[in-house]
């Protein structure tokens, strides 16, 4: 249950320790003003974080804790999730490091679930070295969907640009088989609810991109747009949701048409993420909408090629922290208005 809008506790899963995750985390909190906005708790080990800090010539002070009831505001808290030493080989793919990434992620997810942290920001993982008998998920989102109530939807956010996905980590040759009226309806309702409670947009306008080139050109280049997307969108629109489309994806972003909508829903991963990452200039955030808890992450991967060199740009991670805080506050406000509609009228 949400309890406050101040001193928000931001849990951080450390991700792949051989990548740039720990670097962007530490760089984000080198700015002491961040500690006025939130209290970070990094799920890792103070010894390994001190090693990484030394490698970066960072001067920040880390506060090690062994229990989550020892969290101190105004400090960069490191929850000692393990005691043993960890051998790092920065910039390399290591299954053992993948085990620590998942240990950090699952522990921080449990803390989020139990209300011991308020929001979760996840540093990048390697989707290959995290696989094991205990963890058989393609990434963060699928595990969160299992552990937290709701219907997870991958949404990329940068300012007023919000791009959600009908299908996310699905092979391209299987996308059309996933597009059903039930899925489209569920995803549109999820993104509408998120825009209202997470972004304080009372009557959101949503655009849906077509699957095929030119939305199928009347069936010449595929019939999914006319037979599935269009009638489903019309049905949802007639029930009061301001959803429009399908729109031909090729010119939608280049023409600036996206600026007319509060969110755009792409039918598959690259259709949405390529234009998003082109427009967001490294400041984008991956937000898991549709859950009862808040999780964000930067929009980049482990970047092994620059790991340990001090070259990583931390803006995306910092924006992920900001967005998690903003959404947490928006949900508090939305909850208060829902409980007392007169407050909305007074405003």
Convert the pLDDT of each residue in 12-28 to its tens digit.
999 999 999 999 999 99
Residues 6+ apart with CB under 8 A from 27: 56, 58, 312, 314, 317
* pLDDT given at position 139: 78
Question: Do 150 and 290 contact (CB within 8 A), yes or no?
Answer: yes
SS3 258: helix
The average pLDDT across 156-163 equals: 97
Residue 236: other Cβ atoms inside 10 A: 20
Look over the chain and give the mean of its residue pLDDT values, rounded to a whole number: 92
Classify burial at 189, counting beta carbons within 10 Å of its beta carbon; exposed 0-12, middle 13-18, buried 19 or more.
Answer: middle
Tell me the C-alpha distance between 45 and 127, whole Å: 22
| pTM score, whole prediction | 0.92
Percent of the chain residues topping a pLDDT of 70: 95
Residue 2 scores a pLDDT above 70: no
Convert the pLDDT of each residue in 184-225 to its tens digit.
999 999 999 999 999 999 999 999 999 999 999 999 999 999
Joined tokens for residue 332 = 């508090």
Show the domains of the chain with their CATH numbers: 1-149+292-347 (3.40.718.10), 151-290 (3.40.718.10)
Among candidate residues 14, 16, 12, the one with its CA nearest the CA of residue 96? 16
Residue 269 scores a pLDDT above 70: yes
| Residue 242 or 343, more confident | 242
The average pLDDT across 155-179 equals: 95
Convert the pLDDT of each residue in 311-330 to its tens digit.
999 999 999 999 999 999 99
SS3 242: strand
What's the pLDDT band for 341 if we cut at 50, 70, 90?
low
Question: Do 44 and 63 contact (CB within 8 A), yes or no?
Answer: no
Q: Where are the strands (E) in 166-262, listed by range?
A: 205-209, 242-247
Among candidate residues 160, 120, 156, 130, the one with its CA nearest the CA of residue 300? 156
Residue 290 scores a pLDDT above 50: yes
């Amino acid at each position: 249950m949400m309890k406050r809008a101040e001193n928000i506790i931001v849990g951080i899963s450390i991700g792949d320790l051989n990548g740039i995750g720990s670097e962007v985390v530490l760089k984000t909190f080198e700015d002491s003003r961040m500690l006025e906005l939130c209290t970070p708790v990094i799920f890792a080990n103070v010894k390994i974080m001190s090693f990484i800090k030394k490698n970066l010539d960072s001067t920040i002070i880390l506060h090690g804790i062994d229990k989550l009831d020892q969290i101190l505001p105004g400090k960069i808290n490191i929850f000692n999730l393990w005691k043993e030493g960890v051998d790092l080989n920065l910039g390399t793919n290591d299954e053992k490091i993948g085990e620590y990434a998942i240990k950090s992620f699952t522990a921080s997810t449990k803390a989020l679930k139990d209300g011991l942290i308020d929001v979760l920001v996840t540093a990048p993982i390697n989707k290959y070295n995290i696989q094991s008998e205990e963890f058989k998920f393609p990434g963060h989102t699928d595990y969160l969907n299992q552990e937290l109530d709701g219907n997870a939807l991958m949404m990329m956010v940068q300012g007023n640009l919000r791009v959600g996905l009908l299908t996310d980590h699905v092979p391209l040759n299987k996308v059309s088989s996933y597009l059903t009226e039930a899925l489209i309806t569920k995803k549109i309702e999820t993104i509408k609810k998120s825009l209202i409670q997470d972004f304080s947009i009372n009557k959101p306008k949503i655009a849906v991109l077509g699957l095929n080139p030119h939305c199928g050109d009347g069936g010449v280049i595929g019939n999914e747009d006319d037979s599935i997307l269009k009638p489903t969108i019309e049905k949802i629109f007639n029930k009061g949701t301001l959803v429009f489309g399908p729109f031909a994806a090729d010119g939608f972003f280049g023409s600036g048409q996206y600026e007319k909508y509060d969110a755009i829903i792409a039918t598959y991963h690259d259709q949405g993420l390529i234009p998003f990452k082109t427009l967001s200039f490294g400041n984008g955030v991956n937000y898991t909408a549709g859950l009862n808890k808040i999780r964000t992450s930067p929009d980049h991967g482990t970047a092994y090629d620059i790991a340990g060199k001090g070259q990583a740009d931390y803006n995306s991670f910092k924006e992920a922290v900001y967005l998690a805080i903003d959404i947490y506050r928006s949900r508090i406000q939305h909850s208060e208005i829902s409980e007392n509609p007169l407050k909305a009228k007074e405003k």
